[in-house]
Structure 1
Amino acid sequence: MKHIEVYNAKLHNLKNITTKIPKQQLIVVTGISGSGKSSFIFDTLHHEGQRLYLEALGISHDVLHYDSFDMIQGLSPTIAVQQRTVSNLNPRSVVGTATRLLNLMALIYVNEGVEKGSGQTETSLREYVPGMFMFNSPHGSCPACSGRGTITEVNIAKILPPDSESIETWHQFAYEFPQHKKEEKEYVTKRFDNFISCYNLAPETPFSQLSGEARDVFLHYRPKRTQSKGNLIFYGVNVVIEEKLKKVNLQQLPDLHITRPCTRCHGYRIGDRALAITLENNHIGQLCRMDVLGLTAFFQHYLAVRPHTAFVVHLIKEILSKLACMETVGLSYLNLYREIPSLSGGEIQRLHIMSHLSAKVDSIIYIFDEPTAGLHEVEKAKIIESFQSLKQQGNTVIVVEHDESVIRQAEYIIDFGPKAGQEGGTIVYQGDYANFLDSAESITAKYLLHKPMPPKEYAGIVDASTPRLSIRNAQTNNLKNINVDIPLQSIVGICGLSGSGKSSLMIDTLIPKLQAALKARAPGNKRSDETETEADTVTARAEAELEGAGNIDGFVVVTQQLARRHENSIVATFLGVWEPIRHIFSTQEEAAAQQFTKGHFSFNSMGSCPMCNGYGHIKRWLSQLVFSEECPSCQGKRFKDEVLRVKYKQRSIADILGMSVAEAQAFFQDHPKISNLLTAIEEMGMGYIHLGQSLTTLSGGEVQRLKLARELGKSGKVNYLYILDEPTVGLSYYDAEKLLMILSKLVAGKHSVILIEHDPYVLSYCDYLIELGPGAGHKGGEVVAAGTPEEVKKNAGSMIGPFLE
């Protein structure tokens, strides 16, 4: 069939959509957030394509949706590359393993590596295996760091008492840690008495006065297992604390970790034998530290400089092909040891696109979710070329996208709307780009014709009197000893190519320096920042000086990442409205009669359905595939029957979870604590998401707006700095306009806003721009332009200037 035919698609807010979609074309699906795009493309088309493929393989498929449509014809196998918030990513997964480049390079080292000092590739190397050159293999990982390249240690010295304190105080501290409750057990006193009598010391002896031997024993001694006479029965202070640390959550003890490069492998992750084998005087660890452009140059030279076997020539050409695909998708600044959890949602998705570009298969339906997220305007042309390449191989390419440059290149456009939630769920336009602009119903088309700038609720003037944060001599990562002045009480845009140094300047330099400055200002107090960080991500050491931190009272970092969260973490919990809602239900007459507490209205606690444990579904595993079917006991409602019988305004607790934010805001109008938080979400254009929606189903852009709305729903903050990392991911121009209006309100309230951003529409609205570049990786790290959007537009060295409104 030349078309995909869909009859009566009705999942979520879709209103019985019946349509034909052409195959082997570049199709762009657009519409405002919540209009039904994902429900139709991912949850209907992709799921059905997956089901048909599994059925053809003879695999049971009765756990997938049957009621989301009447019939779909003409589907080929589908591959969906979505941009979702991913938790629990393995930090041992790096770009080199995800792309299989590391495997290919290991094979070349096995075949042609030269042993240091021998100049030979023969005999001895033939006994080597590829795993010897791979840090994830027991044959190749550095034994000191287990292939991580870094050693993480607990910095116990940071928490110990001053050297001037008595050894009795030190000993008490160790046994009272971390609760700081006095330890009354007799054996503790006995052990200390053993130590002081052994070394003829007094309890009040200052730690600083211990001899070298006594100090070593006092800190590190552990008695032998044999309890023979003459053994000192005493446990060193560090030994006691280390044992206690094994039983506590280290995330509750900030600043205790030291992460440093492994001294044995010098951060290269591999063992001594692999470090001794080279190609052109480079071991495999050195190649893995090169960026894509540098690695491409190396293998082009290596291919030409000497003869190779046909097998090695094939390997080198395959490596160069994969590297060329990485450059095509705008990832030329990455190196092969870059950890996957440190990548943004857009970067991870482009890594997936790269793997499909190099696969060269046909008759597939590829579905991409905002592939241009995180790309500069000048980088988008290569991504669009890659879609054309996939299509020319005989595939159908469906792109869910808001970006104007991608929409313009579409052969076929499907626009959902007209609005979000219950006001969406229909196709308002199907056809080519030229006729799309004439569509009267399409909000997207109106914004493509004219993008109105919302009025600012403040002066928006940056001059000499504007307070500033000043970063001096920044050298973090690729930053080239730069000085940057950031105006406050305004909206500042940080722009530049992918990999030009934006995150190095903001995330890896400004944030750590602000944390240190605010902590020094209020020692012993609760942290003044409110960031969420992934525990596995190693934060770069900020190499810079910061001036002007006294001009703000605190800061909030709003990224697309979620700290580790369970799939049972829901929107209502994240926003802080779930507890007051459960309290309301626990005070109803029926609840009081049953002696129900708040815990009974939690699907993670006493109220959960015993069959599905509150998930609402039962999971089945088939190798790496996971399927879910509705729980037959609670019919997906998550709770016990007796809990569901308790009603508030004729609604059960499960009914509340099924409400959209917009519905819940109206329902809880008489509870300001709940309705105020929900109003902030609605103003953000996210009234369509549901209170019971799992956080793991949200896109990176949705997570970010949810975080921002949660912060705005809180009261009491004054003179705060808000740092947003690519806030327009997932936003149509309609939604971006709403975001700008909220940011304007923040600045009008004497706050400051920094946006790491690519979108020319948003950058044009900023009061001040700082552009980094001129290129990516080692070619970036400099300030190429700074000033108002009008000034940057006139700057001949600016890459973003020609695209500004």
Structure 2
Amino acid sequence: MAWLFRRWNCPACEGLGVKKEIDPQLVVPDKNRTIAQGGILPWSFKKSSYYGGILKAVMDYYKISDFVRLRDIPPEKMRSLLYGEKVPDIIPVRIHSRGGSVWKFDITWKGIIGFLEDRYFKTESDAVRGEIEKYMSQNPCSVCGGTRYRQESLLVTIKEKNIHEISTVSVSETLKFFRQIELTAREKMIAGKILKEIQNRLSFLEDVGLGYLTLARSANTLAGGETQRIRLASQIGSQLVGVLYILDEPSIGLHARDNARLLETLLKLRDIGNTLIVIEHDEETMRAADYLVDIGPGAGKLGGKIVAEGAPGEVIQNKDSLTAKYLRGDLKIEIPPNRRPVKNTMNTLQSDIKGVYAQVVAAREAYQNAVFP
């Protein structure tokens, strides 16, 4: 995406769309406290300490009492304490140490929040940075509004849509949008190959069951299976051959319709000259394999031995394999005629699932599977 190229990034957040900022609510979590009671959480109010001495000098300068609750301090004085003035005040500081010595110096006061921000960005200490991060929260960038792009980048459009508008809808919708674009002969000469490549890459994502994701989705919000399938899609696009792929349950969490697409993708990777080792419990995947290795006979410490191996048809005939008994239909998981009582949860909101009515089995808190378009 565009934020991978610095010249298109928002200069304020450097293409992240969010900024870590000092949060006043974390700096002053309890306004019923006084400053003497530790109401300014990052700074100890010990007059002999460095920060305590600075805080005392600032309070004296703005005529703020040590023993007045923070909520009772006049708003303009509280603003000066937290943010300083538009033209920073020069405040004299005198700190009397326990040993009797006196430190004398002047500070340019930018407020407690400004002071913490300066310290955070200038320090080379990970420990100091980690300590200050306790008082920071992540907010949408105020310059780009969370889009990640500099303003000039958003002026470039395709069929009246800029890159932010395209990347914030699902992969399936984005693919549909690009497939509906009709180019003139001259436009095909310029952008025909680019448009085809975009369609191919979006198709790869859809084929591995990720059509519901948006291109603007942050990587740290993806589940492990989603990350694995994104990597799989990128490998299909690279058209590499002679590669050994090891996949750990790629079908987990997929609906049957998406599982069929995933299998087609795995077979494509095999057919162009690659080898795939897939750890799976999915029946369709096992039946589609060229060679099966059944490890058991039980799970965990009860297993670890090769019980059966060979083509799926050979493994299915093995009388010692518990997996084969299920594949033959000798054993099956019965669907209980009566369901356990359910507990209802309303207004769920997480990642791509918005406003979903979820039913949770009360006995084990196990979510029922559902398919979302």
TM-score category of the 2 structures, normalised to the smaller one: 0.7 to 0.9
Q: Flag structure 2 segments of 5+ consecutive residues without an equivalent.
A: 94-103, 121-126
Q: 1:437 to 1:225 in 2, by over 3 A?
A: same
Aligned residues of 2:91 and 2:106 also touching (Cα < 8 A):
no
Aligned residues of 2:361 and 2:367 also touching (Cα < 8 A):
no
Q: Which residue of 2 aligns with 1:586?
A: none
Q: Which residue of 2 aligns with 1:75?
A: none
Q: Which residue of 2 aligns with 1:218?
A: 81
- How many Å apart are 1:313 and its aligned residue? 0.7
Q: Which residue of 1 aligns with 2:340?
A: 462
How big is the alpha-carbon RMSD for the aligned residues of Structure 1 and Structure 2? 4.0
Q: Which residue of 1 aligns with 2:8?
A: 140
Instruction: Write the deviation string for residues 179-213 of structure 1: whole angstroms up to 9, x where unpaired.
Output: xxx62517667645644554455544554555555
Instruction: Write the deviation string for residues 461-517 of structure 1: whole angstroms up to 9, x where unpaired.
Output: 635xx7x3x4334465555645445352355432123xx2xxxxxxxxxxxxxxxxx
1:480, 1:340 → 2: CA distance? 19
1:348 to 227, 230, 254: 227
Q: Which residue of 2 aligns with 1:336?
A: 215
Aligned residues of 2:92 and 2:105 also touching (Cα < 8 A):
no
1:424, 1:150 → 2: CA distance? 48
Q: Which residue of 2 aligns with 1:299?
A: 178
Q: Which amino acid aligns with 1:147?
A: G
Q: Which residue of 2 aligns with 1:392?
A: 271
Q: Which amino acid aligns with 1:312?
A: A
Q: 1:204 to 1:431 in 2, by over 3 A?
A: closer
Count of aligned pairs between the two proteins = 353
- How many Å apart are 1:382 and its aligned residue? 1.3
Pair 1:372-2:251 in alignment? yes
Pair 1:261-2:129 in alignment? no
Aligned residues of 1:174 and 1:237 also touching (Cα < 8 A):
no
The correspondence of residues 715-794 of structure 1 with structure 2, limited to 5 A, is 775=373
Q: Which amino acid aligns with 2:79?
A: D
Aligned residues of 1:174 and 1:238 also touching (Cα < 8 A):
no
1:215, 1:202 → 2: CA distance? 12
SS at match of 1:399: strand
The correspondence of residues 387-786 of structure 1 with structure 2, limited to 5 A, is 387-418=266-297, 427-448=306-327, 449-451=329-331, 453=333, 462-463=340-341, 468=343, 470-474=344-348, 479=353, 481-490=355-364, 492-497=366-371, 500=372, 775=373
Q: 1:201 to 1:335 in 2, by over 3 A?
A: closer
2:271, 2:217 → 1: CA distance? 32
Aligned residues of 1:291 and 1:333 also touching (Cα < 8 A):
yes
Instruction: Write the deviation string for residues 327-372 of structure 1: whole angstroms up to 9, x where unpaired.
Output: 1111111121222232222222212222232233445554433221
Q: 1:270 to 1:407 in 2, by over 3 A?
A: same
Aligned residues of 2:43 and 2:52 also touching (Cα < 8 A):
no
Q: Which amino acid aligns with 2:340?
A: V
Identity of paired residues, percent? 25
2:237 to 342, 358, 377: 358
1:152 to 20, 30, 42: 20
Instruction: Write the deviation string for residues 84-103 of structure 1: whole angstroms up to 9, x where unpaired.
Output: xxxxxxxxxxxxxxxxxx3x
1:203, 1:225 → 2: CA distance? 18
2:274, 2:128 → 1: CA distance? 53
Aligned residues of 2:349 and 2:355 also touching (Cα < 8 A):
yes
SS at match of 2:43: helix
1:360, 1:400 → 2: CA distance? 23
SS at match of 1:430: strand
Query: What TM-score do the two structures reach when normalised by structure 1?
Result: 0.38
1:249 to 130, 136, 142: 130
SS at match of 2:147: coil
1:291, 1:400 → 2: CA distance? 29
Q: 1:161 to 1:310 in 2, by over 3 A?
A: closer
Aligned residues of 1:191 and 1:234 also touching (Cα < 8 A):
no
Aligned residues of 2:144 and 2:150 also touching (Cα < 8 A):
yes
1:268, 1:295 → 2: CA distance? 17
Q: Which amino acid aligns with 1:214?
A: K
Pair 1:277-2:156 in alignment? yes
Aligned residues of 1:191 and 1:235 also touching (Cα < 8 A):
no
Q: Which amino acid aligns with 2:202?
A: L
- How many Å apart are 1:147 and its aligned residue? 0.9
Instruction: Write the deviation string for residues 508-557 of structure 1: whole angstroms up to 9, x where unpaired.
Output: xxxxxxxxxxxxxxxxxxxxxxxxxxxxxxxxxxxxxxxxxxxxxxxxxx
Q: 1:378 to 1:264 in 2, by over 3 A?
A: same
SS at match of 1:267: coil
Aligned residues of 1:175 and 1:241 also touching (Cα < 8 A):
no
1:185 to 48, 61, 75: 48
1:495, 1:218 → 2: CA distance? 53
1:192, 1:422 → 2: CA distance? 61
Instruction: Write the deviation string for residues 420-440 of structure 1: whole angstroms up to 9, x where unpaired.
Output: 688766544333323322202
Q: Which amino acid aligns with 2:197?
A: E
SS at match of 2:205: helix
Q: 1:438 to 1:262 in 2, by over 3 A?
A: same
Q: Which amino acid aligns with 2:28?
A: L
2:24, 2:302 → 1: CA distance? 57
SS at match of 2:21: strand
Aligned residues of 2:170 and 2:211 also touching (Cα < 8 A):
yes
SS at match of 1:495: coil
Aligned residues of 1:472 and 1:484 also touching (Cα < 8 A):
yes
Q: Which residue of 2 aligns with 1:505?
A: none
Q: Which residue of 2 aligns with 1:59?
A: none
